[in-house]
């Protein structure tokens, strides 16, 4: 079968590998659509592990089921989680499934930028989602990223009526904007350094967009009844954006660090000047658990989140290298889908 083998953001090669062989409890899926995630182009995160086949935002059709499979059959349309938890460890029992050691070790074989993937038994057991007829394969590639966004806002304890500042209006930022709108945000402000993304943020529900070079706290007070933002969501790891976030959160508010930074980035924080007496919460989130994926699927099925219009590029497996460059450049693309 053909795969898009990743060596670096500028070196993605179309190669041939054997079709994975499945065993008892496993499933072989033909990949119909696979989204390129922003984390796919974080090169330092892949250091020492290349070459490899990436792709975890996948949807496809089951072509073969292993011995013992009862809940799924050939021809089923599905989305699949690449990481799944054990459900029995300290972290899972504390409702922190996404920091489970098992979740960090599980995956499918190979990644989604391939014609077929083998779904291991543990993923079959707790990581497959049957697609309703009204959800297309393309829409289903958004289940995983939307699940991550849903978990992020849940971890940040977002409440209807709060004002939200989204710093960074790429795909994650746009999903955060749409979800915050669906969940009842009073006012949504979005920033970015790229004008194209600012226009797109407004299209997908931001009430106000501000270029990141402006004085964000000052602009917030002018448009938000003299207040800063109740919830600040960082969808970029740029150091200046982190500083903006710290300066833009209202007393009693929360900052959600959603995007990773470059390796080794640290920030100085003044406990007295920034936090003491202000009851500000800093939190993070990683990935999504099964309940988050189910919620994401329901939101997409109900058309509460418009994902189809976020797709700017549909590419073949042969064109995957173009897709990686588009996502790495982060300019005039939003969602890039590879369709093997």
pLDDT at 271 over 90: no
pLDDT at 280 over 90: yes
Contact between 205 and 175 (Cβ < 8 Å) = no
17 burial via Cβ count (<10 Å: 0-12, 13-18, 19+):
middle
What is the predicted pLDDT for the residue at 34? 98
What is the predicted pLDDT for the residue at 49? 87
What is the predicted pLDDT for the residue at 325? 96
Phi and psi, residue 2, nearest 5°:
-90, 145
The DSSP line for 263-316 is TT------IIIIITTT--EEEE--S--HHHHHHHHHHHHTTSS--GGGEEEEE-
Report CA-CA distances (Å) from 295 to 105, 144, 156: 24, 10, 17
pLDDT (mean) for 75-84: 97
pLDDT tens digit string along 120-155?
A: 999 999 999 999 999 999 999 999 999 999 999 999
pLDDT at 332 over 90: no
pLDDT at 316 over 90: yes
What is the predicted pLDDT for the residue at 263? 83
Neighbour-count burial for 195-231, b at 16+ CB within 10 Å, e otherwise: eebbebbbebbbbbbbebeeebbebbeeebeeebbbb
* CA 59 – CA 21 distance, rounded (Å): 19
Count other Cβ atoms within 10 Å, centred on residue 68.
11
Chosen CATH of 2-144+287-338 out of 3.30.565.10, 3.90.180.10, 1.10.1200.10, 3.90.226.10: 3.90.180.10
pLDDT at 33 over 90: yes
Report CA-CA distances (Å) from 124 to 71, 81, 87, 181: 9, 9, 14, 33
72 burial via Cβ count (<10 Å: 0-12, 13-18, 19+):
middle
pLDDT (mean) for 10-35: 97
What is the predicted pLDDT for the residue at 274? 78
pLDDT tens digit string along 231-262?
A: 999 999 999 999 999 999 999 999 999 999 88
pLDDT (mean) for 306-326: 97
pLDDT at 264 over 90: no
pLDDT (mean) for 109-129: 97
Angle 176-165-157 from CA coordinates, rounded to 5°: 65
pLDDT at 266 over 90: no
pLDDT (mean) for 293-301: 98
pLDDT at 272 over 90: no
* CA 11 – CA 163 distance, rounded (Å): 42
Specify the 3-state DSSP secondary structure of 112: coil
What is the predicted pLDDT for the residue at 132? 98
The class that CATH gives domain 157-284 is: alpha beta
* CA 288 – CA 187 distance, rounded (Å): 25
**Percentage of residues in the chain having pLDDT higher than 90:** 91
Domain boundaries, the chain: 2-144+287-338, 157-284
Question: Looking at residue 52, what DSSP letter applies?
Answer: B
What is the predicted pLDDT for the residue at 67? 96
pLDDT (mean) for 162-168: 98
């Amino acid at each position: 079968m053909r795969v898009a083998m990743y060596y670096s953001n500028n070196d993605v090669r179309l190669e041939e590998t054997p079709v994975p062989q499945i065993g008892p409890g496993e499933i072989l899926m033909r990949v119909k659509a696979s989204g390129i995630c922003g984390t796919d182009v974080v090169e330092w995160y892949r250091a020492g592990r290349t070459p490899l086949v990436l792709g975890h935002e996948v949807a496809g059709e089951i072509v073969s089921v292993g011995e013992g499979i009862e809940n799924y059959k050939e021809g089923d349309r599905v989305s699949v989680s690449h990481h799944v938890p054990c459900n029995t460890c300290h972290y899972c029992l504390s409702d922190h499934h996404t920091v489970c050691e098992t979740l960090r070790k599980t995956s499918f074989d190979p990644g989604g930028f391939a014609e077929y993937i083998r779904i291991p038994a543990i993923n079959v057991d707790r990581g497959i989602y049957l697609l309703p007829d009204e959800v297309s394969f393309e829409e289903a590639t958004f289940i995983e990223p939307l699940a991550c966004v849903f978990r992020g806002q849940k971890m940040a304890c977002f409440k209807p009526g709060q004002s939200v500042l989204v710093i960074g209006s790429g795909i994650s930022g746009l999903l955060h904007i749409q979800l915050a709108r669906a969940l009842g945000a009073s006012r949504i402000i979005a920033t970015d350094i790229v004008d194209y993304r600012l226009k797109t943020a407004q299209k997908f529900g931001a009430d106000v967009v501000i270029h990141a070079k402006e004085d964000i706290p000052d602009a917030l007070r002018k448009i938000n009844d003299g207040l800063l933002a109740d919830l600040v969501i960082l969808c970029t790891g740029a150091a200046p954006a982190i500083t903006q976030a710290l300066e833009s959160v209202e007393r009693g508010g929360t900052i959600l660090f959603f995007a990773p930074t470059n390796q080794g980035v640290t920030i100085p924080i003044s406990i007295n000047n920034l936090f003491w007496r202000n009851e500000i919460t800093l939190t993070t989130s990683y990935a999504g658990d099964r309940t988050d994926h189910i919620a994401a699927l329901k939101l997409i099925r109900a058309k509460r989140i418009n994902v189809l219009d976020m797709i700017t590029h549909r590419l073949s497996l042969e064109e995957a290298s173009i897709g990686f460059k588009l996502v790495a450049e982060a300019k005039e693309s939003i969602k890039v889908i590879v369709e093997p």
